[in-house]
């Protein structure tokens, strides 16, 4: 069987971790075929660390060289990257899930038209497995409470416009409560998990999100409650942050690796 050729778009914290893993641990079944970043220096640096993997001159060039395109770039571009990859006959893994929340149906139609697959890892939350099963029956309610250090919300326009003071916060403060669609809009860099949860379950308007700033916490914590006719599921994930990007949880990277492994292994455990 020929090796699956993987191209990575976005050579930051996630793209770099994935590139190193593919190169070291998946080398029997996969080949790192191309790297691309808007910041060419980042792609070149990662290429040097990943054994001289070719740097693509643009997205089209990367797509030509790949069977699977991994988007690890930005919510502003994730839909366009996925669309171009699917149109080029590639499968696509999407990390910036906030960027596709409004365009999921279009993506589904595109994937079907081109006979390609879209992979969306669970990211930094637990419970997607149970939610996918519960969804086959009736789901009544899905809620996510995300708690982070106030520093994580520095520079968020929604917080500034509401006049919320994060400096010197002494106790937990709820910054936002509303739908996943609104959460992704107002907290674009903080809340990929809201997008993932909503796409797996009740959709962006019915999935409820609460965002909490809590002084003293060092982890990004995501608590999920799912009420369905098959029962109630509660999960709590306390995430260690990625050393290269404190906005990204380490588990999110591992979840992408787990999806890659699952694609390449003969036995698949879990939903």
Ligand X SMILES: NC(=O)c1ccc[n+]([C@@H]2O[C@H](COP(=O)([O-])OP(=O)(O)OC[C@H]3O[C@@H](n4cnc5c(N)ncnc54)[C@H](O)[C@@H]3O)[C@@H](O)[C@H]2O)c1
Could you list the residues that contact ligand X (CB under 6 A)?
9-15, 36-39, 42, 72-75, 77, 95-97, 123-124, 189, 192-193, 245, 248, 252
Cα-Cα-Cα-Cα torsion 76, 82, 85, 88, nearest 10 degrees, comes to: -110
**Which of 96, 106, 89 minimizes the C-alpha distance to 9?**
96
* Minimum distance of ligand X from residue 266's CB (angstroms): 26
* Minimum distance of ligand X from residue 106's CB (angstroms): 19
Nearer to ligand X by Cβ, of 10 and 228: the residue is 10
Read off the tokens for 162.
């509401």
* Minimum distance of ligand X from residue 133's CB (angstroms): 21
Nearer to ligand X by Cβ, of 130 and 188: the residue is 188
* Minimum distance of ligand X from residue 43's CB (angstroms): 8
Respond yes or no: is residue 222 known to be catalytic: yes
Is 184 strand, coil or helix?
Answer: helix
**Which of 70, 47, 68 minimizes the C-alpha distance to 57?**
47
By the 8 A CB rule, do 124 and 239 touch?
yes
Is 223 strand, coil or helix?
Answer: strand
* Minimum distance of ligand X from residue 3's CB (angstroms): 24
State how far the alpha carbon of 94 is from the alpha carbons of 19, 73, 74, 124, in Å.
Answer: 15, 9, 10, 14
Nearer to ligand X by Cβ, of 31 and 42: the residue is 42
Nearer to ligand X by Cβ, of 177 and 189: the residue is 189
Ranked by CB distance to ligand X, the top (closest) residue is: 12
Distance CA 242, CA 257 (A): 14
Sequence-ordered alpha helix ranges (H) in 99-191:
104-114, 128-134, 157-161, 180-186
Nearer to ligand X by Cβ, of 36 and 176: the residue is 36
Residue 65: how many other CB atoms lie within 10 Å: 17
Q: Which of 61, 114, 222, 242 is catalytic?
A: 222
Nearer to ligand X by Cβ, of 8 and 175: the residue is 8
* Minimum distance of ligand X from residue 132's CB (angstroms): 16
Residue 151: what are its φ and ψ, rounded to 5°? -60, -30
By the 8 A CB rule, do 47 and 40 touch?
no
Distance CA 238, CA 229 (A): 27
Annotated catalytic residues are 222
């Amino acid at each position: 069987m020929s090796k699956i050729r993987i191209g990575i778009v976005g050579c930051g914290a996630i793209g770099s971790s994935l590139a190193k893993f593919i190169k070291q641990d998946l080398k029997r079944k996969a080949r790192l075929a191309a790297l691309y970043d808007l910041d060419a220096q980042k792609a070149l640096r990662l290429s040097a660390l990943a054994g001289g993997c070719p740097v693509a001159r643009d997205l089209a060039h990367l797509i030509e060289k790949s069977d699977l395109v991994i988007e690890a770039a930005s919510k502003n571009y994730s839909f366009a990257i996925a669309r171009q990859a699917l149109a080029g006959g590639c499968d696509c893994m999407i990390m910036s899930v906030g960027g596709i929340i409004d365009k999921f149906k279009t993506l589904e139609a595109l994937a079907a038209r081109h006979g390609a697959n879209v992979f969306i890892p669970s990211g930094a939350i637990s419970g997607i497995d149970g939610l996918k099963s519960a969804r086959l029956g009736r789901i009544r309610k899905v809620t996510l409470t995300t708690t982070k250090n106030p520093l994580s919300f520095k520079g968020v326009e929604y917080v500034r416009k509401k006049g919320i003071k994060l400096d010197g916060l002494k106790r937990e403060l709820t910054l936002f409560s509303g739908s996943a669609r609104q959460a992704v809009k107002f907290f674009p860099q903080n809340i990929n998990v809201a997008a993932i949860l909503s796409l797996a379950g009740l959709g962006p308007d019915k999935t409820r999100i609460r965002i909490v700033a809590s002084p003293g916490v060092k982890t990004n914590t995501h608590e999920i409650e799912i009420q369905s006719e098959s029962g109630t599921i509660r999960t709590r994930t306390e995430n260690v942050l990625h050393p290269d990007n404190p906005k990204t949880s380490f588990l999110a990277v591992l979840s992408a690796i787990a999806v890659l492994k699952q694609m390449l292994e003969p036995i698949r455990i879990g939903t």
